[in-house]
Structure 1
Amino acid sequence: MSQQTLRIAKIECLALEARFDEMFDEVPDWLVHPASSHRVLPRRGQYATVVRVYAEDGTVGVGEAYGLPAPQVTATCVATVLAPLLVGADALATTALWQRMYQAQAAGGHNRGFFLEAVAGVDQALWDLRGKVLGQPVYRLLGGPVRERIDCYASPVPLLADPADSARRAQAYVADGFRAVKVKIGRGQRIDGAHLRAVRDAVGAGIDVLVDANCAYQLDEATRIGYLLRDLGIDWYEEPLPVDDLAGLAELRRRTGLTIVNGETHFTRFDVRDSLRLGAIDVVMPNLARCGGITETIRIAALASAFHVDIAPHGVGSAINMHAALAVMAATPNLRVYEYNRLPNPLRDALSIDRPAFRDGQLSVPDRPGLGLRLDDGVVDRYLIGTY
């Protein structure tokens, strides 16, 4: 193989939007407000920013930057800030390029949020390109496989109006082969309790029930909810408090003894470091389209392992982000489980020609070069709202 440097020729972004009002004659309220965090900003659809990195030899790597709430934001960031830094650079130097992108704005305070989400999309695309050039799945480039099938839970049972509806939704997930389901909470002890009891009674003791409060509570109310969870045999307690209340999370963990889960809004290992040092977290949930991509996620996982803490990647995103998460999980020893999001999303279910096989509560890891997916150009064109 030639040692000549393969350089980046071009970077392109595609903003995709799949609107709920185009999927449904009447959009259900639980889809517009699936979680307590959407009370202020309703959810109008599914979004993704597709990043394509073109090498001089014609190889194209594909990645995803987080699209919520508007994919134009991360697409613009990639096109106007990151692409000029990278065109002409060594396309296979993933670590060096991640550092260049991060350092370009870190001193200016842009080390979280939309900027890191844009970095994530480029980083995923660089890893996909690298795997394609070398003819290897990304998980092998990361030292895997540690595993070839990934345990999943179904998410979410959204904020439905009737506890019986929550029970039926959970039962449907179990019928699909899931052995664990996640329920959205955050409406107070009485309402949360009614829905959780209905779900627990419906699925039985043999199915794991997880909960996600999406930062709905303060410490004392979260403590009362925690005692309710213990009575129902529920251990997973996700984002019970504002994500930056690390002292409160540590105290809640001490009070309840539950598994405190956080991290989908942690953007780098530096965010996670503080949670680990304070004993405020048991499971870290990085989203690979948000937290700087594959390069930073493997650092987060390694840091967490030093504290005997697992990761459980956040499952919101398109098929691209799912494939990136599967590659990382296949190569990560300290993996707990994966969130398989089941809200209606054609960007997840139809964007890739090849869908990972799901059976008996597990997803199979694709073994094709790169991230292992091929985009369906017809689906891309259908949901395209802008090219950058």
Structure 2
Amino acid sequence: MEITGVEAIPLASPVDSVEMKLGENDQSVAVLPVLVKVHTSSGITGLGETLTYDPSGEEARFIAKGVSSLATHLEGRDPVDVTQRWTDLYQHVKRSGAFKPLSAIDEALWDIAGKDAGKPLYELLGGSAGDVAAYATFPHRKPTDRLIEDGSWLADAGFDSMKITVGTDLEADRERITTIAESLPDDFGLSMDANTSYGFSDALSLARTASDLEMEWFEEPIAHTDIDGQAELNRRTGVPIAAYQSHYPHYPAVDHLTANALEVYQPSLYISGGVTAAKRVSTLVEAFNKRFVPHAFGPLVNYAASLHVSLASSACDLIEFAVYDDEATDPGEYIASPYVANQTEFSLDADGTISPPERPGIGVELDDAKVEELRLD
């Protein structure tokens, strides 16, 4: 079997753009998928995906060009030799920085490998290591009273924790997390994400409050490049420090683990280097007895790949689940990718766990008509 072609399809956002405040900046955020199809001489087509939050579509188009550039190094090669294909492409990507194209291609190659073997991807990665639950996140900052209401709404749907955003003002955030934590249903967990917006001193102060509230974790409290600062926060506070969604591929995990900088590692498959790199992060994390909780905000092809890696990791018991519709009857229903014909198969189970369907590969079936409807010019 040989690779005969690679197709990159930038898509318009299937969900509405929202305004988010990240630190001092207001930012319009959408979810624009870049779908990748890797075609083969055997007729098997592999699916992969990366994404951008740029509502203009320009970054999505740019990523698609990057995929086309990397494709010249793939045609005529065996797609099932995924590790070697990743290594070959990395030699180009480490100089160009094209980690999003690499990630989507890698997911598609693993999809081909699973389809060729007739097995779900997680079986190729070593089989299931145990159930994976989902925690809820939102694509926008919500007022405190609404988040308190959301806690009961999410708990009724089967979620046992949620993550909120912080990072605008120390005292306001302290009051916010205290009010929410004390108002949530019993045994319902709460974590927070500052998106690297705090300096060390303020992050330490808020982390101490989070420790007292027994929060699940404090995500990206300071600059993600400040390994020493993260390690100091991890040492001086009781709340677990989480990050890694902004790192790629798996090599930086070595420095974080050696420094004991993080308790929770959250690689984003769409940028970290796909299944190959995320699986390597999970192996490193397990060796240091840390948690592996992938950052999985976004569209479904990438989410499906993230689920398979999570299910096969003994360091993982939790994955992110984005709740896009505040008015949904069931917040555990996956709605972000209408171009996936079987997206209902990726919804939260009644017991709060989530798993991919038992289909070969990553388990996604496309609605090609909807793909064409969403395709950017």
* Residues 355-387 of structure 1: CA deviation (Å, up to 9, x unaligned): 32412221133110010110122321222104x
1:95 shift after superposition = 0.5
Partner residue of 1:176 out of 157, 174, 178: 157
- Tell me the residue number matched to 1:98: 86
- Tell me the residue number matched to 1:72: 61
Alignment of 1:343-358 (within 5 A): 343-344=324-325, 348-354=336-342, 355-358=345-348
- Tell me the residue number matched to 2:22: 36
Using a 3 Å threshold, how does the CA distance of structure 1 residues 104 and 158 change in structure 2: closer, same or farther?
closer
Using a 3 Å threshold, how does the CA distance of structure 1 residues 123 and 19 change in structure 2: closer, same or farther?
closer
Residue 384 of structure 1 aligns with an amino acid whose one-letter code is R
Residue 62 of structure 1 aligns with an amino acid whose one-letter code is L
The answer to whether the 8 A contact 2:155-2:185 is kept is no
1:347 shift after superposition = 7.0
Question: How far, CA to CA, are the matches of 1:16 and 1:198 in structure 2?
Answer: 40
- Tell me the residue number matched to 1:330: 311
The answer to whether the 8 A contact 2:194-2:219 is kept is yes
165-174 or 367-376: bigger deviation: 165-174
Secondary structure at 2:11 match in 1: strand
Question: How far, CA to CA, are the matches of 1:176 and 1:346 in structure 2?
Answer: 13
1:145 shift after superposition = 1.8
Measured on the aligned residues, the alpha-carbon RMSD in Å equals: 2.0
- Tell me the residue number matched to 2:32: 47
1:66 shift after superposition = 2.7
The answer to whether the 8 A contact 2:31-2:51 is kept is no
Does 1:117 find its partner at 2:103? no
Alignment of 1:142-221 (within 5 A): 142-147=125-130, 149-156=131-138, 158-160=140-142, 162-221=143-202
Secondary structure at 2:28 match in 1: coil
Question: How far, CA to CA, are the matches of 2:214 and 2:229 in structure 1?
Answer: 23
Partner residue of 1:82 out of 64, 67, 70: 70
Question: How far, CA to CA, are the matches of 1:201 and 1:99 in structure 2?
Answer: 49
Question: How far, CA to CA, are the matches of 1:89 and 1:349 in structure 2?
Answer: 31
Secondary structure at 2:132 match in 1: strand
The answer to whether the 8 A contact 1:174-1:203 is kept is no
- Equivalent residues, number: 363
The answer to whether the 8 A contact 1:150-1:329 is kept is yes
Residue 15 of structure 1 aligns with an amino acid whose one-letter code is P
Question: How far, CA to CA, are the matches of 1:195 and 1:159 in structure 2?
Answer: 12
* Residues 313-333 of structure 1: CA deviation (Å, up to 9, x unaligned): 001121101110111112111
The answer to whether the 8 A contact 1:46-1:347 is kept is no
Alignment of 1:227-376 (within 5 A): 227-344=208-325, 348-354=336-342, 355-359=345-349, 360-376=351-367
* Structure 1 unaligned residues grouped into runs of 5+: 1-5
Partner residue of 1:7 out of 2, 23, 36: 2
Question: How far, CA to CA, are the matches of 1:140 and 1:264 in structure 2?
Answer: 25
The answer to whether the 8 A contact 1:47-1:347 is kept is no
Residue 19 of structure 2 aligns with an amino acid whose one-letter code is V
Question: How far, CA to CA, are the matches of 1:229 and 1:76 in structure 2?
Answer: 43
Using a 3 Å threshold, how does the CA distance of structure 1 residues 84 and 349 change in structure 2: closer, same or farther?
closer
The answer to whether the 8 A contact 2:132-2:317 is kept is no
1:346 shift after superposition = 8.3
1:40 shift after superposition = 5.2
Question: How far, CA to CA, are the matches of 1:267 and 1:202 in structure 2?
Answer: 37
1:216 shift after superposition = 1.1
Question: How far, CA to CA, are the matches of 1:341 and 1:286 in structure 2?
Answer: 16
- Tell me the residue number matched to 2:328: none
Using a 3 Å threshold, how does the CA distance of structure 1 residues 376 and 38 change in structure 2: closer, same or farther?
farther
Question: How far, CA to CA, are the matches of 2:19 and 2:353 in structure 1?
Answer: 28
- Tell me the residue number matched to 1:3: none
The answer to whether the 8 A contact 2:32-2:52 is kept is yes
Question: How far, CA to CA, are the matches of 2:88 and 2:152 in structure 1?
Answer: 48
Using a 3 Å threshold, how does the CA distance of structure 1 residues 349 and 361 change in structure 2: closer, same or farther?
farther
1:350 shift after superposition = 2.1
Secondary structure at 1:294 match in 2: helix
* Residues 276-328 of structure 1: CA deviation (Å, up to 9, x unaligned): 11111111101111110011111111112221112100011211011101111
Secondary structure at 2:358 match in 1: coil
Residue 356 of structure 1 aligns with an amino acid whose one-letter code is F
If the length of structure 1 is used for normalisation, what is the TM-score?
0.88
Question: How far, CA to CA, are the matches of 1:291 and 1:321 in structure 2?
Answer: 12
Using a 3 Å threshold, how does the CA distance of structure 1 residues 322 and 37 change in structure 2: closer, same or farther?
farther
